[in-house]
Amino acid sequence: MATFTDLSLSEPVIRSIINMGFEETTPIQEQTIPTAMEGRDLIGQAQTGTGKTAAYGIPLVERIMSQAEHIQGIVLAPTRELAVQVAEELNKIGQFKRINALPIYGGQGIDWQIRALKKRPHIIVATPGRLMDHMRRKTIRLHEIKIVVLDEADEMLNMGFLDDIETILKEIPEERQTLLFSATMPRQIQNIAQRFMKNPELISIKATGVTVSDIEQHYVEVTERLKFDVLSRILDIQSPDLSIVFARTKRRVDELSEALSKRGYSAEGIHGDLTQSKRDSVLRQFKDGTIEVLVATDVAARGLDISGVTHVFNFDIPQDPESYVHRVGRTGRAGKSGLAITLVTPREIGMLRLIESVIKRRIIRKPIPTIVEAVQGQQRLTMTEILRVIAEEDIEKYKGVAEDLLAENDSVTLLSAALKIITKEPDNVEVRLTEAAPARGRSMGGRNMGNARPQQGNFHRDGYGQKVDTWSRRKGADFRGGTAAPQRGRDNKRNGQ
Ligand code: ADP
Ligand code: MG
């Protein structure tokens, strides 16, 4: 794999890349950056989490003149979260070249945006709808745009932005460079390319499977009624640092995040009906670890890059294999390992098989975890934390009380009582969720799906033939902190409730 210094980039850009901690290029970056630097149109296809933002962000920043005080580049992105995230990354890449990128999205005050636009950003990263608003008000003019990027083009089409995108592209001078990035290449995208791009080079990075191979993928077959208990138990056993739980509807997201909070997890939900400021604050808290479990709909989590997500739970199996790939891609970012667990009701097994056939990989079946395993998981967590405190923290001032207590009780009884206080015990607070209709394969009914199972030979090697086994917390040195020790005072939080 190439390093960034092989790519004839300018000194300030190299410096910012080093600053960002990137050492080697990812395959999509290695291939797209030189072509894009030449000014050619290109279509980049690579699975999620492979560094597509920098793949276009680096040449974009390189090709912009910092002295010229007008908008020279536009990135179109499907959601406001993604717009914010992309603008952040562009600002990092452009920090030493002094290139400014501004996110523009619906839900944020238009007057505020107009003021921000007066500061003359070089690049705007916009959702199509809001950009159209600004075009109508003439608060953004597109006549000096040199480069356009369509990011997550497939998702923008899914969200119905086709007309807006066409209108926008027609407004931008034809001498521009157009870059299009997408995880998948449906027909409609090829149409756009044909109509709005000039002889684009297609750069497609074939994935080993469709999903990142570092992600372990499991499923548990469980009835709708038991799903929530199963999720709670897995959370207790695995004690993930940061996890995302996907639910099918906004209502389920609300109910689930509330139910998780009731049971003592620090959880919050995110979906399109929340105000922008609420969504921002939830995301911020999740990124800094104040919230451990983010409950989300597909749309809300699409494209988000949050590092350190160790677990993805499909509380509801997604409606199609593509969403599965997108969801699972929220963990295992940038070469780190991750675990994805899907809860499947008996009627949804057909969908699971369809997903397996698309990702050309077997999803490993796990049994329903028992309460005993959940208890053991939490006890293990407490034990690890106690040993850590002994090794790392100052406990001198507790020793006097400890000796007094030991004078009247035996040590095992005392320690057991202390353990009981610190350990989160499985919680049976009653919760109620609105039923979700089961997901089915799109064109093939729920039956007969056995045929869609991949041939043995196609399966990914690891995890092969592995039989259903018991639950244990994942080992793996690259989980944050590398131990099962609770972090950020999580257990105190839980026990207080
Ligand atoms: P995609 O758009 O393909 O889903 P992103 O652009 O969001 O992927 O990148 C995923 C993660 O990988 C981000 O955290 C990004 O900072 C990181 N990343 C990108 N390129 C590199 C690189 N060359 N080296 C290390 N990390 C990288
Ligand atoms: Mg992306």
- Residue with CA at minimum distance from ligand 1 atom 9: 51
In ligand 1, the atom with minimum distance to the C-alpha of 25 is 23
Return the pLDDT at 478.
33
Fold of the 215-369 domain: Rossmann fold (3.40.50)
Report CA(10)–ligand 2 centroid distance (Å).
24
Rounded to an integer, what distance in angstroms lies between the CA atom of residue 103 and that of residue 339?
Answer: 32
Per DSSP, 254 falls in state H
Residues with CB under 6 A from ligand 1: 22, 24-26, 29, 48-54, 305, 307, 333-334
Return the pLDDT at 69.
87
Return the pLDDT at 207.
60
Matching fold, domains 4-207 and 215-369:
yes
Over its C-alpha atoms, the chain yields an Rg (Å, rounded) of: 25
Return the pLDDT at 67.
94
- Ligand 1 mutation pick, 26, 75, 180, max ligand atoms within 8 A of CB: 26
- Residue with CA at minimum distance from ligand 1 atom 19: 51
Domain spanning 4-207: CATH 1.10.260.40: no
Report CA(153)–ligand 2 centroid distance (Å).
10
Asked if 359 and 324 count as a contact pair (C-beta separation under 8 A), the reply is yes
- pLDDT tens digits for 272-328? 888 888 888 888 898 888 899 999 988 777 767 677 788 999 999 998 887 888 888
Could you state, in order of their start, the residue ranges of all structural domains in the chain? Answer: 4-207, 215-369
Per DSSP, 468 falls in state P
In ligand 1, the atom with minimum distance to the C-alpha of 307 is 14
- pLDDT tens digits for 468-481? 445 555 443 333 33
Residue 23 CA: which ligand is closest? 1
- Residue with CA at minimum distance from ligand 1 atom 12: 334
Return the pLDDT at 156.
92
Report CA(26)–ligand 1 centroid distance (Å).
8
Report CA(49)–ligand 1 centroid distance (Å).
6
- pLDDT tens digits for 322-374? 788 888 887 765 555 688 999 999 999 988 988 888 777 788 888 888 888 87
Block mean pLDDT (10 aa), the chain, length 497: 85 94 86 95 87 96 94 95 93 96 92 92 96 94 94 91 94 95 88 93 71 75 92 88 92 93 90 84 88 88 74 92 83 70 93 84 86 80 84 88 89 86 72 69 37 33 36 42 35 38
